[in-house]
Amino acid sequence: MKVLVLNGPNLGRLDLRDSSVYGKLDFAGLKLFIETQGAALGFLADVRQSDSEVDIISWLHEAAEAKIPVIINPAAFTHYSYAIRDAAEMLTSPLIEVHISNPLRREEFRHTSVISGIASGTIAGFGPDSYRLALIALKEMQK
Ligand code: DQA
C-alpha cells in the first residue's frame, strides 16, 4: 500500500534548524527513517518535501485522484494555508497531520492549525517518531 508523506517549507533543512526543537537528523535521514518504518508496516512511503505551496497542493491533488492516504507535515503552512486545507479536503483516503515538535508548547502563532479540522488525526511532539506513529495509526485505520 502506497502512502504519500508530504513535508512543507524548511523541513529540507532540518539539520540546520534549532536542534533543541528539531533534533539533529537531516532530511535525508528523516526520509530514510520514514521509508524504513513504512516498509516494516507494509507501506511504500513516497516521501517528498517542498518549500512551495504550489507543489504541496498539486501532490494533494495527485493523492486525491489516486485515492492514496497522506501523512503531511505542512510546517509553517499549517498555521495559515487555506489553499492546502482546501486541497486536502478533497482527499477520500485518510489524512494524518504530523509535527516533529509540539506546536502547542511553542509560540502562540503555532497554536492554530487550519489543517487539523479536516485531518483524520494529528500526531505532534515526538520528533521523527511522530511519522512512525502516524504510519501505525494509518495501518490500524486500514483494518
Ligand atoms: C513543524 C511545526 C511548525 O510550527 C513549524 O513551522 C515547522 C515544523 C514541526 O514539525 O514541528 O516548520 O511543523
Q: Burial of 52 by CB count in 10 Å (0-12 exposed, 13-18 middle, 19+ buried)?
A: exposed
User: Is 79 noted as a catalytic residue in this protein?
Assistant: no
Supply the range of the domain harboring residue 80. 2-141
61, 80, 99, 131: the catalytic one is 99
Q: Which atom of ligand 1 is nearest to the CA of 76?
A: 6
| 59-118 confidence digits (pLDDT tens) | 999 999 999 999 999 999 999 999 999 999 999 999 999 999 999 999 999 999 999 999
**pLDDT given at position 5:** 99
- Distance (angstroms) between ligand 1 centre and the Cα of 121 equals 16
Average pLDDT over residues 9-31: 95
Answer yes or no: is the C-beta of 64 below 6 A from any ligand 1 atom: no
**pLDDT given at position 93:** 97
User: Number of folded domains in the chain?
Assistant: 1
Residue nearest to atom 13 of ligand 1 (CA): 75
Say what the alpha-carbon torsion angle 15, 19, 23, 27 is, to the nearest 10 degrees: -20
Extract the runs of DSSP E, i.e. beta strands, from the chain: 2-7, 44-49, 70-73, 95-99, 121-124
pLDDT-derived band at 15, boundaries 50, 70, 90: very high
**How do beta strands 95-99 and 2-7 pair?**
unpaired
User: Is 82 noted as a catalytic residue in this protein?
Assistant: no
How distant is the alpha carbon of residue 40 from its chain centre? 19
Q: Which atom of ligand 1 is nearest to the CA of 110?
A: 4
Q: What is the CATH number of the domain that holds 118?
A: 3.40.50.9100
Q: Which atom of ligand 1 is nearest to the CA of 130?
A: 10
Asked whether the whole model's pTM tops 0.85, one would answer yes
Average pLDDT over residues 116-126: 98
Provide the percentage of residues in the chain whose pLDDT is more than 70.
100
| Statement: residue 133 has pLDDT above 90 | yes
Element holding 22 (H helix, E strand): helix 19-22
**pLDDT given at position 143:** 84
